[in-house]
Chain A
Amino acid sequence: MEKNKFIETLKPRIKELKFSLYLLNRNWLTKVSFYIAILLFLLAIFSQVISPFPGHIMDEANVSQKLLPPTSVNFYGTDELGRDIFSRVLYGTRVSLTTAILSVGLALLIGVPLGAIAGTLGGWIDEVIMRITDIFLSFPPLLLAIALVSILGPGLENAMIAIALSWWPWYTRLVRGQAISMKERKFVQAAEAIGTPTWKIIFKHIVPNTISPVIVQASMDMGGVILTVASLSFLGLGAQPPIPEWGLMISTSRNYFPDAWWYSIFPGLAIFITVLVFNLLGDGLREILDPKTRKN
């Protein structure tokens, strides 16, 4: 009987899901980007299985085959060590998506609680937190990330940390604004009147209600973060060889340009498509999660 009840309670959830899909399906661009995003995640997960030359992903060299143009064997051609660029670009999806998710995740972990605390408590705490974010926001994010990586030392992990550290203030601002408007809601006052502890009000009442715009912002930022990771790697501050990171691949390919055009074009296209897809996806999610901006 308990089980039946559980299914019964699921029904409205299913209806909501259907409504979300309906909103998603209304815009073909969002729909396409949604499916491409799913495809990208699948490719990232199974890249090692799919890739025709899994050994080429890292440093298995085959110098006799170097810098071959695209053929039916090497779809995207080969690089200066004779490695299959298709396999490497494919694996690059995993590298970029993982770094992007982890960086954004870390930035959220710092930014959301700080924003919620600042917005809810107000007063001098708000003042201090917001002035710190102002300081962070007064550097161009890429420059700040470069500076931070130079302090921490080059490498993918450090690049992630640096990106998170230069990205969190945006979430703090966003969440603070939301928290201020949520704080005035009666359910927060009701919780206060009951005697709910402040930390519980912040994290159980306010944060869950600020999360929709944060998800939208985060999915839009995924594109930006992938670009930043690529830029850092391009400058030699992010991923280190032999990791098949797209920015790093483009950076190396410069030496063989324009003869080996395929070497830079395919990683570049991968970056372009991924970033575009996440931007479109962000707009789509906004449509679903934010009724105010919804088109009729």
Chain B
Amino acid sequence: MASVDQTMSDGHHGPARGITRWLYTTNHKDIGTLYLFFSLLMFFIGGCMALTIRAELFQPGLQMVMPEFFNQMTTMHGLIMVFGAVMPAFVGLANWMIPIMVGAPDMALPRMNNWSFWILPFAFTMMLSTLLMEGGGPNFGWTFYAPLSTTYAPPSVTFFIFAVHMMGISSIMGAINVIATILNMRAPGMKLMQMPLFVWTWLITAFLLIAVMPVLAGVVTMMLMDIHFGTSFFDAAGGGDPVLFQHVFWFFGHPEVYIMILPAFGVVSEIIPTFARKRLFGYASMVYATASIAFLSFIVWAHHMFTVGMPLAGELFFMFTTMLIAVPTGVKVFNWIATMFRGSMTFETPMLFALAFVVLFTIGGFSGLMLSIAPADFQYHDTYFVVAHFHYVLVPGSVFSIMAAAYYWLPKWTGHMYNESMGKLHFWLSFIGVNITFFPMHFLGLAGMPRRIPDYALQFADFNMVATVGAFIFGISQLLFVYNVVCCIRSGKQATDEVWEGSRGLEWQLSSPPPYHSYSTPPTAEQLSKASH
């Protein structure tokens, strides 16, 4: 190992110059940065689509867009936010932080790392280009249920399928890299149960990715074959079954949901102890809870299809397993609160986002629990109540945790402090915007508004107007974040190595910004013990 490091550090002392630095880079920090900027770009593209949707829904009647374009917007918004914004952002954080947190010089497989990032821009260019094709882009919802996405799909569906394949390959390569780094590159003396929780949640997430991204690849391959090669996986005429599509899709889809939230749990579990100046409560139970959530995610998929006409036994089974998820999730929330309890808390921007995460994610968890009750789900299914639920877990959940992580580690990444008041302003505008946008959606869903409709009955008008106002507040306030990040990269107060008073992990024992090859000599036993207490 020592000899390898020797050649690496002898080979190049720092980044190359110009565009080739980014194109050919195999450095985990450069690739992490690329991932993060890519996901920020996608966040804004997906966000513009969301604002198009909200603008159309500002008032009843058709004003801005026609229904066919509206459907393309809902579909693309979902696909881009899931595969383009949230997932790459977490991969970016993993790239930046995991090697440092386990005391390694870089990711285990740097060349593959470069490749797994550079696939993404091509995949998303292809996907976005479908909007300009004849017949329009994908218009069947991000869940692309057959036969709407096969027999009745626009011709561009083929490009959509290839784009999904490319994203899948990228995610799988990223996941393999993360696992190899965590299992093989840990600093001598660092046991699995001593790893930071962010590393733990990512290890479990990476296994989920490897388990389900191939299933997604399988299901889109079946679609491709149905469309072009005359098979009938999902066509009843040839002995297939459209419901099979939903089973296979949700076998991927439910673990996918946890792929987007487990790393968020990890981020929050790093931030809360730092700003509470107290060790994370129940480290071991956090790890076990994460693992049980991951396990349960494989046996709950059909709760997305309670209305599809399952036999009673099936409904009961999936209802019970789904309710069970509340237990490990509850344990995590309780642990975070126990961490804050009798701590010594301060409220810098990352902490504010993390606290908002705990509250709002839990609200999303409550509506999730309500949705798990099958008979009640018959009333909630495919309404705005569901839209409110998953936006509560994904926006103030995943997205807030990404924001929290960005503010938390920005001083480490750039060596400069960000502008704290602007960060706080960004937080409060986002917090208010998110709640004004998504809280009324609970009411809309309960009052009976179906999701994915471009126009609605008059009794839904008031709350839709409120939601649209909130969406624009949230959307526009994200520009503050971009401004803050850009300023922080260019200038700002010099950050110390620890950055935060309560910070402990290995990343805070490197300089800010850290050296190009993070831990080119493994951290000492003393450093490790400092990191874990």
Is the A/B pair a real complex? no
Residues of B within 8 A of A (CB): none
